[in-house]
Amino acid sequence: MTVQLTSRRKVQAMPTGRRPVVSVVVPCYNYGHYLPECIASIVEQPDVDTDVLIIDDASPDGSGKVAQSLAEQHPNVRALVHEQNMGHIATYNEGLPTMTGDYLVLLSADDLLAPGSLGRATALMESHPSVGLVYGNPLTFDDVLPPASTTVRSWSLWSGHDWARRQFSRGMSIVYSPEAVVRTKVHAEVGYYKPELPHSGDLELWLRIASVADVGRVNGPDQAYRREHANSMMHTTYGTVLIDLKTRDEAYAEFLATAGRGLPDAEKLRALSHRRMADEALDWTCLLLTKPECTDADRAEIAECVAFARTIDAGYASLRSWHEYQLLSTPHSSTLAPALRAGHRLRRDVKGRLKWQRWHRMGL
């Protein structure tokens, strides 16, 4: 096993032989049909001991009974069933502070851990006590679980500030959630999820952790299964590009106003995130403009995204996406429409693939 640092030095990782305890909070709302598979993915993890708390948030579909049945089957699983719905943030914050393991995981009932992921993540953290957050690649799926890679290529380690700067530069969150393992004492130090950030609370939390601890990544294997389906909160409550951009901006602003307010480059980081989100908004308008037929709803969304970009970044006019937007929205663009559509979609596709490959391989 090698450890790859941001300086590109490599050092030998020494196994500690210790069997750490990982506490896992599983919030559930109407996902009872997913719970057995989710819990199995936790309790079957090798090389660690697990302590699991399922919290059913007053699901009307009978999820609470499934949770209680699983608690009866597994001695390391407990179930808490709400009488009234509290919402996801309150549910997270109810469970996380009560867990006593060495490490903490928040795993939605519709997601799963990949085989061996907790042992791989905690091995890194046991070897490097300064690391407060470890993540890896989440494998996206819908109904059928694809095979997960389990081969560790290397570990990457960043100072918290360096990792946070890279997060501001990327714009979109580097970490989702099911693949994240947090050192329990670090979680207690920085606190838990903020109710005022119901959509982007995880992004702000990762930045808070990076403000007091280093960050690591297990490179090579898949560390979790992230389920995508039509009933997920991402698709039902926060399903538009503009909402996602605005809520991410709120997360960055909250971090810099609180835990990150003392950073010497705070203003530069803020400008960096604004530039990235303005570019995302304008790139989305270009994609809408390349559709064969632009509807009234599309035009309304385009206007909102352009206004957002102009408001959030004073230098928006220097962006390539702004120039593409101007070209695509001119009255004469219809004569060039096929070439413009093809050119923009090709560039966007190549850019997106390169960005995804870098994130998939390096976690950034």
43-80 pLDDT per residue, tens: 999 999 999 999 999 999 999 999 999 999 999 999 99
Q: What is the CA radius of gyration of the chain?
A: 22
Q: How far apart are CA 300 and CA 127, in angstroms?
A: 52
The angle at the Cα of 165, spanning 189 to 160, to the nearest 5 degrees, equals 35
What is the third-level CATH fold of 2-236? Spore Coat Polysaccharide Biosynthesis Protein SpsA; Chain A (3.90.550)
Q: Note every long-range contact of 296-301, with CB atoms under 8 Å and residues 24 or more positions apart, other chains counting.
A: 301/240, 301/241, 301/242
The DSSP bridge pattern shows strands 21-28 and 103-106 to be parallel
Among the listed ranges 115-119, 225-229, 238-242, 357-361, which one has the minimum average pLDDT value? Answer: 357-361
CATH 3.90.550.10 residue window(s) in the chain: 2-236
Band of residue 231 on the pLDDT scale cut at 50, 70, 90: low
Instruction: Report the C-alpha gap between 87 and 139 in whole angstroms.
Output: 26
**pLDDT per position as a tens digit, 212-230:** 999 999 999 999 999 986 6
Going by pLDDT thresholds of 50, 70 and 90, the confidence category of residue 290 is confident
In our burial notation (b when 16+ CB lie closer than 10 A, e otherwise), range 206-223 reads bbbbbbebbbbbbbbbbb
